[in-house]
């Protein structure tokens, strides 16, 4: 298991007193805190190695390039990818999904094609496909969610057909923590020669992931939700698929050659190989360095241990929440079916009121729609308050959360 005291010592922010109480940070699904190792790696990069990558023969540029490329290698190893050429650095999960939607949408999707998404999706796996379907005239199919919050796999199997080109699904719901059976979904997609994109924003930070074992074509995730800095994320793409895709953004570093003809106004361009083909312009080098350090930190703990720790916290939280009289919890009761997210409502209170009251106890949670309005509509809920855990959270913090909710219930 994990050494909680040692881990907590690595996170300076956890020593803060907020509203007169020791900080309890339960908003990890939105973004996680950063250990001192990640903060120092970024400072060190700017102090000693800062330069542009792939653009200089001088020593600093070589050092920055080495750090940047090895960060791709770290990310590849972390998710079981074959190597750096399968790892595109982007801003976040949102940009990773947009990259696939625009690149495939602009160049290869047509009227008559279908893209399958779900009613469980975060808006970032709905809006890009919607925009592209409006532009290109292909159809979206949306898989139902059952009332217990799990995905309706029969509906998915019905909606995937020979017209399906892409199946894009969340691995883990950011509202309910429900874990989807991505391996089975990949099988269903591949039977009709469709590609599968997995939104891993809430899975990659919390469980061991092996893209080859899952047999998926794309995986999107964000560095800031796994101890890394904001502004860096990853698109994993299977080597042969990325190799056949046209770029989404154009600019420096994503080309091999550019020729322009001043007479005809024509340009002749050949594109660089992946991943650089999809990384136009100066990238977030310091972000990549921070992400690599975050990955090393998580690897030292072991992703199996991260998963076990969160399962323990969820199981303990769900059990203790049964002591509450006016608090309704959403999603499956079986802690084995969900990761470290618990969404709920206190009778008589709006989700934002609950979050503000918890804040007065020094407990940070998120409230609202969590960028997943269709899921709330499916479950006929206005909004929810959400507690989400990570490696530094403790059972004692859960106790404080439960005691605070008991007091909140009394005034609700």
In the complex with ligand C6P, the residue whose CB is nearer, 327 or 367, is 367
Q: Tell the smallest beta-carbon distance from residue 95 to ligand C6P (Å).
A: 7
In the complex with ligand C6P, the residue whose CB is nearer, 92 or 351, is 92
CA distances from 338 to 77, 146, 380, 386 (A): 25, 15, 20, 14
CA–CA separation, 125 and 118 (whole Å): 9
Catalytic one of 2, 14, 371, 381? 371
Q: Tell the smallest beta-carbon distance from residue 222 to ligand C6P (Å).
A: 3
| Residues forming the site for ligand C6P (CB under 6 A) | 29-30, 92-94, 122, 124, 170, 174, 199, 201-202, 222, 366, 370-371
**Cβ(286)–Cβ(229) below 8 Å:** yes
CA–CA separation, 63 and 68 (whole Å): 9
Q: How many CB atoms within 10 Å of residue 14?
A: 17
Degrees, nearest 5: CA angle 38-42-44: 110
Query: For the chain, how many helices (H) and strands (E)?
Result: 14, 17
Residue 109, CB half-sphere, CA atoms under 13 Å: how many?
A: 29
In the complex with ligand C6P, the residue whose CB is nearer, 303 or 371, is 371
In the complex with ligand C6P, the residue whose CB is nearer, 69 or 350, is 350
Q: Is 267 a catalytic residue?
A: no
Q: Tell the smallest beta-carbon distance from residue 390 to ligand C6P (Å).
A: 13
CA–CA separation, 285 and 253 (whole Å): 14
* Residue 165: closest CA among 241, 121, 248, 109: 109
Q: Tell the smallest beta-carbon distance from residue 172 to ligand C6P (Å).
A: 7
Q: Tell the smallest beta-carbon distance from residue 174 to ligand C6P (Å).
A: 3
In the complex with ligand C6P, the residue whose CB is nearer, 199 or 397, is 199
> For 27, which DSSP code?
B
**Cβ(8)–Cβ(392) below 8 Å:** yes
Residues acting as catalytic residues: 371
């Amino acid at each position: 298991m994990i050494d909680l005291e040692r881990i907590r010592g690595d996170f300076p922010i956890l020593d803060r007193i907020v509203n007169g109480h020791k900080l309890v940070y339960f908003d990890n699904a939105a973004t996680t805190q950063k250990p001192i190792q990640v903060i120092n790696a970024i400072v060190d990069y700017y102090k000693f190695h800062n330069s542009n990558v792939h653009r200089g023969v001088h020593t600093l540029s070589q050092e920055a390039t080495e750090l940047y490329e090895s960060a791709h290698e770290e990310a590849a190893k972390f998710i079981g990818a074959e190597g750096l050429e399968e790892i595109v650095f982007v801003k976040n999960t949102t940009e990773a999904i947009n990259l696939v939607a625009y690149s495939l949408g602009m160049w290869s999707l047509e009227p008559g094609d279908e893209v399958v998404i779900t009613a469980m999706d975060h808006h970032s796996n709905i809006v890009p496909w919607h925009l592209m379907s409006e532009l290109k005239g292909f159809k979206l199919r949306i898989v139902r969610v059952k009332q217990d919050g799990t995905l309706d796999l029969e509906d998915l199997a019905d909606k995937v057909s020979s017209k399906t080109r892409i199946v894009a699904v969340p691995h883990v719901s950011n509202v309910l923590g429900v874990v989807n059976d991505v391996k089975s979904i990949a099988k269903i997609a591949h039977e009709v020669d469709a590609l599968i994109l997995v939104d891993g924003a809430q899975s990659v930070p919390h469980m061991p992931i092996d893209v080859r074992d899952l047999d998926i074509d794309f995986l999107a995730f964000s560095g800031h939700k796994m101890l890394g800095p904001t502004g860096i994320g990853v698109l994993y793409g299977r080597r042969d698929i990325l190799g056949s895709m046209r770029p989404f953004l154009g600019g420096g570093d994503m080309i091999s050659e550019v020729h322009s003809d001043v007479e005809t106004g024509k340009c002749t361009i050949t594109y660089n190989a992946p991943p650089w083909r999809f990384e136009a312009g100066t990238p977030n080098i310091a972000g990549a360095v921070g992400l690599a350090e975050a990955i090393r930190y998580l690897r030292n703990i072991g992703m199996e241990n991260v998963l076990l720790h969160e399962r323990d916290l969820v199981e303990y939280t769900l059990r203790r929440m049964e002591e509450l009289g006016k608090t309704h919890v959403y999603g499956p009761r079986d802690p084995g079916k969900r990761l470290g997210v618990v969404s709920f409502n206190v009778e008589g209170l709006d989700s934002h009121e609950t979050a503000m009251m918890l804040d007065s106890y020094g407990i940070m949670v998120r409230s609202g729609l969590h960028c997943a309005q269709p899921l709330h509509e499916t479950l006929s809920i206005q909004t929810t308050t959400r507690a989400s855990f990570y490696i530094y959270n403790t059972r004692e913090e859960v106790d404080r959360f439960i005691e605070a909710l008991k007091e909140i219930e009394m005034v609700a």
